[in-house]
Amino acid sequence: MSNPLTPYSLTYSPEIPALLRQMNFTIAISVFQKGKLIFLASKNGKELSQLPRNFPRPMGLALQDNKMAIACHHEVLVLVNSPELATTYPKKTVRYDALYMPRTTYYTGNLDLHDLAFGAKGQLFGVNTFYSCISKLDGDFNFKPIWQPPFITKLAKEDRCHLNGMALQDGIPRYATAMSETDTPQGWREQLPRNGILMDIKTNEVLARNLAMPHSPRLYGGALYFLCSATGEFLKMNLSDGKQESIVHLEGFARGLDFYGDYAFIGLSRLRPTSVSAAKLKLINPDSKVGVAVVHIPTGKIVGEVNYLNTLDEIFDVKIIPNCHFPGILNTEKPAHQSGISWPSGAVWQP
């Protein structure tokens, strides 16, 4: 008789821990369904370890220099890596080479923030899905709208087009994805499955239509990449002529995308049976993969996978944390973070 699986059981290709170790990075994934942020790190180049931490409904993740931002249910939490606190962490059994500590909270209210990104001069931008706009977060208001699709006539908590994805260029939002061009409350749900769009924020031009639930637009290496979640497709758009190239089809609902070197890291989900959209699109497939696929961009080949066997069904975002083998992170759920005190010239753990 086999032993039952422990929570968060996973399998992975041997190439994954080897790649993480060789290139010195960690994978972060947000799991809003379970209220978790998970770090996937290499132990020794052969084994993969994971560090889950509780956060309230985490979705979009953003990284810039030593900062990490997490879009949570009613706020955006900004954490800062303190190497000094990492090396002196009181729990001696843990040896972190980075430690993200809570430092700032933006109280946004429930905006259903999707993609999140740091811009020029540390500005923080979020895709405000409920209010169908891209917003700047600075603490003066719950949000400051800086752009909305031209077909949206009113800012209201009505999720009119399910604006969800954002790519920055030169530190400001430049491209966006949405499920439809509708301007009525929840209107996008009636337009599924292939009415998604990719837009140029600067010109208000629709660059592509009839997309199957597009998510996660990202600029990388002079090209624009994005995911068609409903088909599991990873695509590239040539910005000079607008031509699209399908790189690879993946087994799962593709959402969450980041790059490192010649590799793309893509989140895969199995949509929940209670999802109205999934049922309508017949996307509920018990055999769909849940985890992260690694794609070699020059060849379009899947070179490794992390697959969860239980506990998780949906992954929202994927981010690469460079230059660290095993980072730690503290939340505000427990008082431990209050003991880590840092200032420009030092840091100490208070008793």
pLDDT tens for each residue of 295-307: 999 999 999 999 9
CATH number at residue 96: 2.120.10.80
| Backbone dihedral angles phi then psi of residue 127, each to the nearest 5 degrees | -85, 110
Name the domain count of the chain: 1
86 part of a folded domain: yes
- Please tell me the number of Cα atoms within 13 Å of 177 on its side-chain side: 28
Residue 79 lies in a domain: yes
For residues 337 and 101, is the Cβ–Cβ distance under 8 A? yes
**Does residue 122 belong to any structural domain of this protein?**
yes
Q: Is residue 323 part of a domain?
A: yes
Gap between the Cα atoms of 164 and 79, Å rounded: 23
Work out the number of other CB atoms within 10 angstroms of the CB of residue 253: 29
Beta pairing, strands 67-71 & 61-64: antiparallel
Is the residue at 3 inside a domain?
Answer: no
DSSP assignment, residue 315?
-
The answer to whether residue 103 is domain-embedded is: yes
Please give the C-alpha separations between residue 10 and each of 31, 48, 54, in angstroms, as whole numbers: 15, 9, 19
Phi, psi of 265 (to 5 degrees): -120, 120
What is the extent of the structural domain holding 155? 10-341
The Cα 342–Cα 340 span in angstroms is 7
**What is residue 151's predicted lDDT score, i.e. its pLDDT?**
98
Q: Which residue has the tokens 């890291």?
A: 265
The residue ranges of the chain whose pLDDT is under 50 are 1
Residue 347, domain member (yes or no): no
Q: Confirm whether 100 is domain-assigned.
A: yes
| Structure-block tokens of residue 11 | 């399998």
